[in-house]
Each structure stands twice: as C-alpha cells, then as structure tokens.
C-alpha cells in the first residue's frame, strides 16, 4: 500500500464533504467562551475572600486550594488590599479564638 492510498482512506473515513454545521461551530465557540470566564470578577473575589483567608490561616495553602483567587489578588490591587486587611483582622480573631478554646478546655 502506498501513502496516497492511505491518505485517501483517512479522507474517506472523515467524510471531507460533510461540512461542519453552524451548531457545531457555535458549540465550539461557546466552549472557548466558557474557558475564558474562568477569570473571576472582583465581586466574586469579595464573596469568597473570607473563605480564602480562612483557608490561608488554617492550612497556609490557600493559593493551591483556590488558585483563581490567588491569581486575581496578584493582578488586582484593590482586591489585594481588601485581602490583606481581612487577613490582618482574621489573624487577630484567630488568636482570640485560640485563647477561648484553651480556656474552654481548661474549664472542662
């Protein structure tokens, strides 16, 4: 068998005369569109910032758990400022919380 026959066979298999329908093209474009929406808006960051900071304080690996938020914080000064303020507040709350836990344990 020569290479031309092989190419012809492959061509036949993929039915080159059948054009892509508009639906198929639109569907493909929609997939691309959704992939781009992966980027989160500031509003979405705000709504998840407390969760992110909590995670950061708990496991110190929030950037790995929520990489999209970390990415946004790197790019958006506004959200980053908010994040640092929240981190500051929550670290303080965490200290107080630990003290309460300790006193609760000693009371038992």
Report the residue from 40, 62, 69, 79 that binds Zn ion according to the rule CB under 5 A: 79
DSSP state of 20: P
Reading the block at residue 95, the tokens are 């200290």
| Span from 23-31, 41-49, 60-68, 82-90 in contact with Zn ion (CB under 5 A) | 41-49
| Residue 59 binds Zn ion, judged by CB under 5 A | no
Calpha distance 67→76 (Å, rounded): 14
Report the residue from 76, 86, 87, 90 that binds Zn ion according to the rule CB under 5 A: 76
Between residues 76 and 90, which has the closer beta carbon with respect to Zn ion?
Answer: 76
Report the residue from 42, 59, 89, 93 that binds Zn ion according to the rule CB under 5 A: 42
Identify the burial level of 28 via C-beta atoms within 10 angstroms of its C-beta, where 0-12 means exposed, 13-18 middle and 19 or more buried.
exposed
Residues 6+ positions from 2 with CB-CB distance below 8 Å: none
| Residue 10 binds Zn ion, judged by CB under 5 A | no
Contact residues toward Zn ion (CB under 5 A) are 42, 76, 79
């Amino acid at each position: 068998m020569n290479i031309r026959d092989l190419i012809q066979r492959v061509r036949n298999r993929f039915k080159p005369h059948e054009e892509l329908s508009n639906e198929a093209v639109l569907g493909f474009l929609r997939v691309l569109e959704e992939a781009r929406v992966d980027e989160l808006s500031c509003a979405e960051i705000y709504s998840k910032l407390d969760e992110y900071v909590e995670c950061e304080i708990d496991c110190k690996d929030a950037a790995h758990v929520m990489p999209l938020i970390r990415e946004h914080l790197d790019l958006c000064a506004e959200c980053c400022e908010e994040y640092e303020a929240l981190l500051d507040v929550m670290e303080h709350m965490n200290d107080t919380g630990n003290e309460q836990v300790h006193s609760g344990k000693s009371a038992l």
